[in-house]
Amino acid sequence: MTPAALAALHAKCFTTPRPWSASEFASFEDSAFLLSTPQGFLLGRVVVNEAELLTLAVDPAARRQGVARGLVEGFKTRATEDGATLAFLEVAADNDAAIALYRSTGFEDAGRRRAYYRRPDGSTLDALVMRCELGDR
């Protein structure tokens, strides 16, 4: 997927946090890995032994069909192959569907970042920080 295609799908999926631009996606080309399907994508990176799930987007028409679960499991496998033993992510505290997905794939609550995201109306929203021990996969 091109940075423009990533940005277009991200814009279909997010208002809070705000969707990323094509130039923001392009800025990750050398420091992150992309997993994609025709219906969605996941951007992640590994630094030393820690992985970070940067963003996950699935076309709203393809949700609840296992696309996101497959991408998260692929992220965990790729991160382990790249030397990570621990993975982190941040998710909007009101995104119940994403939180349920992450918990069902082995992520646990690790903390909260107060007022981390800004909504389009200017109000703020907490981010839930989640972690997952990767171990040997």
pTM of the model: 0.92
Measured CA to CA, the distance from residue 56 to residue 11 in angstroms comes to 12
Q: What is the mean pLDDT of residues 21-48?
A: 95
What is the crossing angle of helices 96-104 and 67-81, to 10°? 50
Closest CA to 106 of 137, 131, 75: 131
Contact indicator for 104, 128 with CB cutoff of 8 Å: no
Q: What is the domain count for the chain?
A: 1
pLDDT digits (tens, 9 = 90+) for 55-70: 999 999 999 999 999 9
From residue 110, alpha-carbon distances to 13, 89, 126 in Å are 25, 10, 13
Asked whether residue 121 carries a pLDDT value surpassing 60, the answer given is yes
Q: pLDDT grade, residue 137 (50/70/90)? A: very low
pLDDT more than 90, % of the chain: 88
Q: Which residues are catalytic?
A: 90, 102
pLDDT digits (tens, 9 = 90+) for 75-99: 999 999 999 999 999 999 999 999 9
| Domain ranges, residue 57 | 3-133
Residue 78's CATH number: 3.40.630.30
